[in-house]
Amino acid sequence: MNIPLLDLKAQYATIHEEIATAVARVLESQQFILGPEVVALERELAAYCGCAHAVGVSSGTDALLLALMALEVGPGDEVITTPYSFFATAGAIVRLGARPVFVDIEPGSFTMNPALVERALTPRTKALLPVHLFGQMAEMQPLMELARAHNLPVIEDAAQAIGAEYRGQRAGSIGHMGCFSFFPSKNLGGVGDGGLVTTNDPALAERLRVLRNHGARPKYYHHMVGGNFRLDELQAAVLRVKLPYLDGWTAARQRNAASYRRLFGAASLACEVAAFPCGAASCCANGDGAWATARSAQHQILLPPELPERRHCYNQFVVRSQQRDDLMARLKERGIGCEVYYPLPLHLQPCFADMGYQPGDFPVAECAARQSLALPIYPELTEAQLAQVVAAF
């Protein structure tokens, strides 16, 4: 059988009646913008994320943009972030006239390396923007200590990490704000675009609510220039149906990840990323040292780590292979869905060419871009399907 990277129909089949009821409720009410469904969802998601406030917005991209606007990030400012993420992480910074200042990632976690952040600070630094990539949180303690020492706000890009934890704290609850996406492929996905900003600061929460509605309060009285960043009632109603299932779906993703590790181990095809000797940048830059122990295996892969004191929610299950492109082509020939996240780091994107970054500036991120491949991990996968994926290798 063919196994897709993601099967949204499988999830929908289990909750379609509840979805239909929720949609009908909104249609009967004829309230579509910032109504009771959004208010209820914000309350429920704030509790889920361990935050005092949650503000529903129109997309994960707009969540980032709104958070930066709330901090008055603008021309001449710098925001320190990672070059290995979805485009919106840097795109939102640039849209406000500010400059993303990239620091490389850690080789195992795919997330921003805290040890490199301090040297990137300048008098123009306005905020730190770590990304919790693929469902696992960045190393937040040293980042928060550095932020406090330099009086800098921290925005967590948690678009792929709802429900993930770091030392018992949920994604979006540690920094000054957290930004989430409800794009349909996310662990908590809507029926279109949607997003959320969380915060424990009541003043920031109020500012976010005003900015998302053209900076108006009351209606038609504009105290600042905001935007149309409102979450639809229909999206909120669907997300409220799905939220009670989220922890169960996360547990299923975690079981699937454990099954992959067991099945790959039994097939003797993979080694854990803990054995990945990539502490030095040159290791990833030329590939030789990183794979010195693996040359006898033509298609050896490295599995994603579960780091200590983390709750990984597996938005993606990303392996690494030196023969990634060949491997991906062969898997697709065998009906196995797979995808590259992300083939070109942000600092090498054509639209950012005028920033002056060059190949080799962030070798660990560039290595990940060459080697990473996401495999199916969605909750409804069966053990037989997981075994078929591994057998295809």
Residue numbers of the domain that contains 153? 8-103+111-245
133 in any annotated domain = yes
Last residue of a domain, one of 184, 213, 245: 245
Residue 239 located in a structural domain: yes
Domain assignment present for residue 29? The answer is yes
**Same domain, residue pair 193 and 67:** yes
Residue-wise pLDDT tens digits, 65-121: 999 999 999 999 999 999 999 999 999 999 999 999 999 999 888 999 999 999 999
Same domain, 206 and 273: no
Residues 52 and 39 in one domain: yes
Q: Are residues 80 and 191 in the same domain?
A: yes
User: Quick one: pLDDT at residue 124?
Assistant: 98
> 337 with 352, same domain?
yes
Residues of the chain with pLDDT under 50: 271-297
Q: Which pair of tokens denotes residue 152?
A: 């800098």
Report pLDDT for 299.
Answer: 58
Domain membership of residue 337 (yes or no) is yes
Could you say which of 229, 245, 261 is where a domain stops? 245
- For the chain, the domain total comes to 2
Q: What is the pLDDT of residue 268?
A: 64
Q: How far is CA 133 from CA 37, 120, 123, 181, 317, in A?
A: 29, 21, 28, 13, 11
pLDDT for 272 equals 45
Rounded distance, CA 17 to CA 25, Å?
12
Instruction: Give the span between the Cα atoms of 19 and 243, in whole angstroms.
Output: 12
Category of 182 on φ-ψ map: left (φ > 0), alpha (ψ -120 to 50) or beta? alpha
CATH number of domain containing 31: 3.40.640.10
DSSP letters, 213-233, are BTTBSSTT-BSS---B-BPBH
Of 195, 225, 245, the last residue of a domain is 245
Express each pLDDT in 228-286 by its tens digit. Answer: 999 999 999 999 999 999 999 999 999 999 999 999 988 766 544 433 444 433 334 33
- Looking at the fold, whether 62 and 89 belong to one and the same domain comes out as yes
Report whether 157 contacts 140 (CB < 8 A). no
Sheet holding 165-166, edge to edge: 169-170, 165-166, 310-311
Do residue 303 and residue 238 come from a single domain?
A: no
**Domain identity same for 203 and 250:** no
**Token match 């990183």: residue?**
290
- CA dist list (Å): 143 to 30, 115, 204, 384: 45, 9, 20, 41
Q: Tell me, yes or no, whether 3 lies in a domain.
A: no
For residues 255 and 322, membership in a common domain is answered with yes
140 inside domain: yes
Residue 1 lies in a domain: no
Per-residue model confidence (pLDDT) at position 1: 85
Residue type, 55: V
Rounded to an integer, what distance in angstroms lies between the CA atom of residue 209 and that of residue 334?
Answer: 48
Question: Which pLDDT score, from 0 to 100, does residue 155 have?
Answer: 99
What's the confidence (pLDDT) of residue 164?
98
- Please report, as a single letter, which amino acid is at residue 388: Q
Task: Give the angle 44-46-52 at the CA atoms, nearest 5°.
Answer: 135
In a shared domain, residues 372 and 251: yes
Residues 240 and 271 occupy one common structural domain:
no
Nearest to 243 by CA among 22, 63, 33: 22
Asked whether residue 20 falls in the same domain as residue 94, the answer is yes
Specify if 371 maps to a domain.
yes
CATH code of the domain containing 332: 3.90.1150.10
Structure tokens at 186: 């996310």
